[in-house]
């Protein structure tokens, strides 16, 4: 492993320790980005080889979803060793090379940290299973006796996010049915007991391991779930709200944990950061995660779920800037990730479509992908103009739609399996990326293997096709990212202009941003259009599109 001083020499960190305030961060989903060894699963070397394309795109950093040793029951969010790389993805040496290459290109690297649960194959959980009830090993996780005369009922009514009960009963080492353990996700993802000092210490070691390897930060998985009500009361979903969030989401105890982590990161002076994945609302509550002594950023999912409507978007943008601004944190802007239906498809569906459990072959949807793509491109110009930090999920820059018709037998999401196919889950947004139109697996690898099948229509969306087409979505992202940098939009002040039922418009960084939500073209005010999400129609902005304008005088 390179020494710290060598890392610092190659790291872009240090040039601006507050880089995360305005950064555009590209999410790499390792299984689906690029597959260097051709086994059908993306890998670390594939990512390293693809970094040039991301640098060309113009992002500031990458965030890697988990690549740690794992049985892959939840695509790596079930970690069996936090300090090693799963052989399907490569080796620690490959990660060192990736970090070095990224830093050489001026890209920072954020990795995923999964502290709410481990894999049931983790040595710590195996030791807990082999130990007696009440032992220190069991105390690392949440084991309890069951209810009922023989302990045959789970300790309470908590449900797994993936469907079914959140408790599984074990066989004790002597072979008799015994205690139950908690898993808010899959049965193979037992929750840690974060009141355990032993667990807290292990995670400090894990943070140090990766910090000293040169990573620039962590995206913290389920950052709102670590603190459970020790009384384990039943979950009354009707009583839960942002202010009384229920017995395990958004409880106050999590903040002490992050204060300790922040203090640790602050001992590195070169801009290491934490970003919370916390599905908490309202925004004022979420802002508690990014108070100055805690995390640096939190994903703004409220923005992601806001419907395509000018006043709804104005409200969430205004509230985000105000809630995060009140604690001195930047807002983040997120349009998609590996857990939600892809943007182009989402915006091509009626706004009342239930997307919470994914969509698939049998979902009755009235989908218009042409409208979806137009709106997604407009949403991109809106988002990349906003002050703060933006996240881009791989494939968003290619305008990829959700893959709805994945054959049942190919689906892999635990949601699909735990609900016997009732909920489709997230495979449709995780299909391997198309790089080149005329190669096997569209250049994802050279063998044609792919862990989820790619639709034939993705040939036209391949990166090489889009690179040479000045009207492509890829070129739109690239140009918007370039202009965002030139005009320092991430650090700009936003002032509202027009907001009506059909238009959203504001000024930022000397630019005027206009989004036309109506079904007719909109006359533009004086000024030069520097980028638009669709070609202008006789000088007017078409329906469902957006433009950035600059005053001619300001250019001169």
Residue 439 makes contact with ligand NOJ by CB under 6 A: no
Looking only at residues 97 through 136 of this chain, which bind ligand NOJ when binding is defined by CB under 6 A?
114
In the complex, the smallest distance separating the C-beta of residue 225 from ligand NOJ, rounded to whole angstroms, is 9
Q: How far is the CB of 433 from Ca ion (least distance, A)?
A: 13
How far is residue 554's CA from residue 180's CA, in Å, rounded to a whole number?
A: 67
| 302 noted as active-site residue | no
Q: Does 185 bind ligand NOJ (CB under 6 A)?
A: yes
- Minimum CB separation of residue 490 from ligand NOJ in Å reads 24
How far apart (Å, rounded) are the C-alpha atoms in residues 348 and 267? 46
Spatial distance between the Cα atoms of 61 and 87, rounded to a whole number of angstroms = 25
Binding residue for ligand NOJ, selected from 221, 288, 396, 544, defined by CB under 6 A:
221
Number of residues that bind ligand NOJ (CB under 6 A): 9
Active-site option among 74, 191, 221, 302: 221
What is the DSSP pairing of strand 61-64 with strand 545-550?
unpaired
Interaction between residue 424 and ligand NOJ (CB under 6 A): no
Classify burial at 355, counting beta carbons within 10 Å of its beta carbon; exposed 0-12, middle 13-18, buried 19 or more: middle
Distance CA 87, CA 46 (A): 14
The answer to whether 467 touches 436, Cβ cutoff 8 Å, is no
Between 192 and 442, CB nearer to ligand NOJ:
192
CB of 13 to Ca ion, least distance (A): 29
Task: State how far the Cα of 528 lies from the Cα of 555, in Å rounded to an integer.
Answer: 9
Main-chain phi, psi angles of 115, to 5 degrees: -95, -10
For residues 23 to 52, the per-residue mask of contacts with Ca ion, x marking binding by CB under 5 A and - elsewhere, is ------------x-x-x-x-x---------
* Residue 86 in contact with Ca ion, rule: CB under 5 A: no
**394 vs 516, which CB is nearer to ligand NOJ?**
394
Among 49, 81, 260, 339, binds ligand NOJ (CB under 6 A): 339
Are 484 and 382 in contact, with CB atoms under 8 Å apart?
A: no
Which residues 6+ apart lie within 8 Å of 85 measured at CB?
A: 44, 67, 68, 69, 91, 92, 94, 95
How far is it, in rounded angstroms, from Cα 254 to Cα 481? 35
Ranges within 34-93 binding ligand NOJ (CB under 6 A) = 74, 77
Min. distance of Cβ 32 from ligand NOJ in angstroms? Answer: 13
Q: Catalytic residue, from 43, 277, 397, 427: name it.
A: 277
Q: DSSP string of 149-179?
A: TTS-B-SS--B-TTSSBSEEEEE-TTSSEEE
Answer yes or no whether residue 222 interacts with ligand NOJ by CB under 6 A: yes
- Tokens 């001619």: give the residue: 552
* Beta carbons of 472 and 465 less than 8 angstroms apart: yes
Kindly tell me which of 302 and 544 has the beta carbon lying closer to ligand NOJ: 302
Is residue 413 among the annotated active site residues? Answer: no
Q: What does 39 interact with, of ligand NOJ, Ca ion, none (CB < 5 to 8 A by kind)?
A: Ca ion
Positions touching ligand NOJ (CB under 6 A) are: 74, 77, 114, 185, 221-222, 277, 338-339
Catalytic residues: 221, 277
Name the residues that contact Ca ion, by CB under 5 A: 35, 37, 39, 41, 43
């Amino acid at each position: 492993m390179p020494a710290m001083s060598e890392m610092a020499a190659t790291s872009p960190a240090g040039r601006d320790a507050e880089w995360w305030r305005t950064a555009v961060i590209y999410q790499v989903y390792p299984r689906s980005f690029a597959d260097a060894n051709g086994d059908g699963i993306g890998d670390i070397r594939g990512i390293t080889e693809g970094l040039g394309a991301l640098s060309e795109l113009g992002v500031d950093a990458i965030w890697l979803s988990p690549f740690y040793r794992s049985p892959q029951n939840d695509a790596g969010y079930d970690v069996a060793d936090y300090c090693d790389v799963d052989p399907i993805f490569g080796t620690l040496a490959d990660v060192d090379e990736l970090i070095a290459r990224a830093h050489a290109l001026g890209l920072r690297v954020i990795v995923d940290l999964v502290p709410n649960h481990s894999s049931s194959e983790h040595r710590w959980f195996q030791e807990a299973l082999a130990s007696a009830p009440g032992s220190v090993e069991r105390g690392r996780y949440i084991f309890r006796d069951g209810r009922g005369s023989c302990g045959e009922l789970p300790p309470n009514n908590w449900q797994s996010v993936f469907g079914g009960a959140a408790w599984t009963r074990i066989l004790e080492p002597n072979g008799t049915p015994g205690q139950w353990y908690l898993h808010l996700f899959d049965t193979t993802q037992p929750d840690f007991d974060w009141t355990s000092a032993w667990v807290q210490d292990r995670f400090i070691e894990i943070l140090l391991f990766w910090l000293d390897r040169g990573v620039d930060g962590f995206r913290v998985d389920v950052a709102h779930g670590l603190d459970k009500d020790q009384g384990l009361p039943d979950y009354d979903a009707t009583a839960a709200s942002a202010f009384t969030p229920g017995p395990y989401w958004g409880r106050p105890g999590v903040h002490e944990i992050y204060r300790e982590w922040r203090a640790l990161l602050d001992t590195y002076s070169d801009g290491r950061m934490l970003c919370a994945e916390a599905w908490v609302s309202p925004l004022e509550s979420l802002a508690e995660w990014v108070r100055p002594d805690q995390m640096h950023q939190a994903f703004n999912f409220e923005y992601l779920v806001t419907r395509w409507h000018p006043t709804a978007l104005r409200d969430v943008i205004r509230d985000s800037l105000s809630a995060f601004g009140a604690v001195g944190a930047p807002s983040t802007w997120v349009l998609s990730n590996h857990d939600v239906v892809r943007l182009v498809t989402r915006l091509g569906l009626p706004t009342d479509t239930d997307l919470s459990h994914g969509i698939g072959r049998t979902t009755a949807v009235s989908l218009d992908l042409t409208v979806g793509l137009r709106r997604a491109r407009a949403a991109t110009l809106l988002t990349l103009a906003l002050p703060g930090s933006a996240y881009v999920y791989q494939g968003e820059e290619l305008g990829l739609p959700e893959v709805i018709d994945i054959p049942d037998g190919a689906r892999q999401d635990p949601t699909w399996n735990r609900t016997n196919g009732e909920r489709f889950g997230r495979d449709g947004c995780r299909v391997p990326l198309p790089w080149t139109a005329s190669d096997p697996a569209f250049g994802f690898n050279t063998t044609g293997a792919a862990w989820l099948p790619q639709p034939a229509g993705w040939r036209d969306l391949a990166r090489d096709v889009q690179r040479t087409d000045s009207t492509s979505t890829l070129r739109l992202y690239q140009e918007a990212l370039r202009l965002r940098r030139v005009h320092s939009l991430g650090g700009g002040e936003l002032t509202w202009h027009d907001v009506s039922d059909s238009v959203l418009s504001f000024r930022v960084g000397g630019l005027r941003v206009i989004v036309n939500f109506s079904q007719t073209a909109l006359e533009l005010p004086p000024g030069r259009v520097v980028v638009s999400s669709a070609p202008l129609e006789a000088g007017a902005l078409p329906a469902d599109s957006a433009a950035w304008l600059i005053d001619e005088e300001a250019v001169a």
